[in-house]
Amino acid sequence: MHRMIGYLGCLRGIYRCSWAQKKRAKNGFTLTELVVVIAIIGILLTIVGLNFSQLQNKYTIENQAKELKTDLSDLRLRAIQRKNDYMAIFNNSPQQMTFKSYTTNEQISPTTGKVELSKNFKYSTSNTPTGFAACGNIQVDQRGYIWSAQTPIYIYIQPTGTEAHYDCLIVTTGNINLGKYNGTTCVYQ
């Protein structure tokens, strides 16, 4: 008890005390210190939460671009292995891609053919960076070549202009490449 009174007297300036004695006598935090620490933690958690949602969107767009490239490459391989013509049909309501196969005598159109694969995406695809036009269809012949009236075909994953490393594809007759929208067009990455 005598020691405790000595510590309190030390803190109040009644007695002369060493720094170590003062430190031992003061063992708690004030309410103000606790409120400030909790406010700082809350601000940091808010900042981290905002960055997390941006990172999640970025990685989802990148993942969709990589998955789309893999699917179109798979379509080319199917055409070569099975010696059939194929078509990838893109719809934006819902965001969906459908693979159809065609026999030798069958007319190639989006309304005919056998559905081989149908896949939904989180983000829509477009052949323009603004997203107003649908991607259209990509036709692959028996040799794995991609046929289109326009070459190359640009496939943009909406929204463009995000921090994603890959947000578009460049499809040519013999290649499918990942790209990044630079504000005007899709460039190879």
* Domain 35-188 CATH (choose: 3.55.40.10, 3.40.50.920, 3.40.50.1100, 3.40.190.170): 3.55.40.10
Residue ranges per structural domain of the chain: 35-188
CB contact set of 91 (below 8 Å; sequence gap of 6+): 97, 98, 134
Please compute the mean of the pLDDT values over residues 138-142 and round it to a whole number: 89
Taking only the tens place, the pLDDT of each residue in 164-188 is 888 889 998 889 999 998 888 888 8
Q: How many CA atoms lie within 13 A of 137 on its CB side?
A: 14
DSSP code for 124: -
Q: What is the pTM of this model?
A: 0.71
Identify the pLDDT of residue 20: 59
Nearest to 113 by CA among 89, 81, 80, 77: 89
Give the mean pLDDT of 33-43.
Answer: 92
